Amino acid sequence: MPRPPILKPVDYKAIFKSAATYRQWLGKAEDRKNVRKMEKLRKELALEAGVQARLESLTRTVNVLVFAEDWCGDVHRHVPVLEKMASCTKRLKRRYVTREEQPEAFKRFLTNGGEAIPKFVFLNHKFVECGNWGAMPEECKRLISRGKAAGNVAAARERIAGIYASDPNCELTVREVLELLDIATCEVP
């Protein structure tokens, strides 16, 4: 039986090393207003003590390759969460790229066939891909899928806005990112 076609391997380590730091990425932003919005949220986010403790106790480095562009509303909401979490530990390394900078790598992470961002690609300390997150929490992605199926994505987006409004500390995102950090740092299956 013939083997199905596969995507070309990605050298995540090389991409990560050539990608921008958070500050460099912010410096290349198209709109300073978006930078101010993200920085304001990052500073205002309050992580629970238990979340901070889990982050402080990470035993291995986790590298997160972030596909993001400053014009996107979901980027404005979720990138500050990752950065706030990273402020609690030196073991959470992040680097930023755009879809255009790494199209071959990004096409692996389409959301229902769409190029939704942000996309966080979790790589362990050896740069092995361990999972990905984005462009929004799972509950919200399900709503978008249902909106597409019903022909009313606008109504789904309204419901998501309500979820976001009732979750000012982005706890849905924090919880899902923590799960991926647990996977990327595990020492036994």
Query: pTM to 2 decimals?
Result: 0.94
Helices vs. strands in the chain: H and E counts, helices first: 9, 4
Cα–Cα distance between 54 and 136 in angstroms, integer?
22
- 24-43 pLDDT, tens digit per residue, is 999 999 999 999 999 999 99
Report the pLDDT averaged over residues 108-131.
94
Yes or no: is domain 12-135+170-185 CATH 3.40.30.10? yes
Only one residue has tokens 């979490």, namely 85
- 42-65 pLDDT, tens digit per residue, is 999 999 999 999 999 999 999 999
The torsion angles phi and psi of 93, rounded to 5 degrees, stand at -95, 135
The pLDDT-based confidence of 5 (bands split at 50, 70, 90) is low
Say if residues 47 and 171 touch (Cβ distance below 8 Å). Answer: no
Cα–Cα distance between 125 and 109 in angstroms, integer?
21
- 157-186 pLDDT, tens digit per residue, is 999 999 999 999 999 999 999 999 999 999
